[in-house]
Homo-oligomer: A and B are copies of this chain.
Amino acid sequence: MPTASSLTEARAAIRAGTWVRHTSGVADDHVQGNVVILPQALADDFLRYCQRNPKPCPVLAVSEVGVPMLAQLGADIDIRTDVPRYRVWRHGEVVDEPTDVTRYWRDDLVTFVLGCSFSFEQALLDSGLALRHVSEGKNVAMYRTNIETAAAGPFQGPMVVSMRPLRAAAAIRAIQITSRFPHVHGAPVHIGDPALIGIRELTRPDYGDAVDVLPDELPVFWACGVTPQAAITQARPEFCITHAPGAMLITDLLNHQLASF
């Protein structure tokens, strides 16, 4: 599948199980989302967790109970088949990584779709900024921080951030651009010294791939949609489903539709 594929091609390939990996650059005008699917008994707590932590957990859509369709995000989306790769969790451990969760579906499941930095990355690239992990074909570097999220029910834990190294003028421009996208993490949460948010070694990310930070660059940190997966690890729900990191739901929405001004 070419990276600048159409939405129709991309969704068909993902649904057919022929595209099973990360979606960076796929149907790149379209909003992609982090996915969390939980039993109804935990859904209210999780929604309050998102409300209290809007930078890492910006909610794009919540499904009806037991309904796998997400009409707000696309007329024909079926959350059971339209993510390239899933993680199935039991008691906080990943027990399966299938490309289709139809056989795991339950009538009590509620789907949450959260904004993803792929949307603002496209805006950064469109503005002529270079992103090292993109040019090197890597996943973005992600780190657990010492910034505690606000708890709700069993959900709590550290904020996870993604890091992109930028020269100062580009960092300032990136802050302006991402401020326009509050539904996909918005402006950075930190810039500069990683130790101030509890990150010891930039060369050893907790998720994704390391990239160099050059002497004339600042590391710039955005809240990351992997944060709820860290909260799930701590909450240990008896059952839940997420996307596999980087393998996102591609929606019908356009990234430009999310810009706030």
Contact = CB atoms under 8 A, between A and B. Distances in A.
Nearest to A187: B172
Contact of A218 (B169, B187, B191): B191
A66 interface: no
Contacts of A261: 261
A196 B172 contact: no
A140 B193 CA distance: 25
B218 A192 contact: yes
A101 interface: no
A212 to B, nearest CB: 17
A176 to B, nearest CB: 5
A82 B261 CA distance: 38
A169 B188 CA distance: 8
A216 B196 contact: yes
A168 B191 contact: yes
Interface in A141-200: 168-169, 171-172, 175-176, 179, 187-193, 196
A191 B179 contact: no
B172 A191 contact: yes
A261 B260 CA distance: 11
A138 to B, nearest CB: 24
B192 A169 contact: no
Interface of A: 168-169, 171-172, 175-176, 179, 187-193, 196, 216, 218, 261
11 contacts: A168-B193, A168-B196, A169-B189, A171-B191, A172-B175, A172-B189, A172-B190, A172-B191, A176-B187, A196-B216, A261-B261
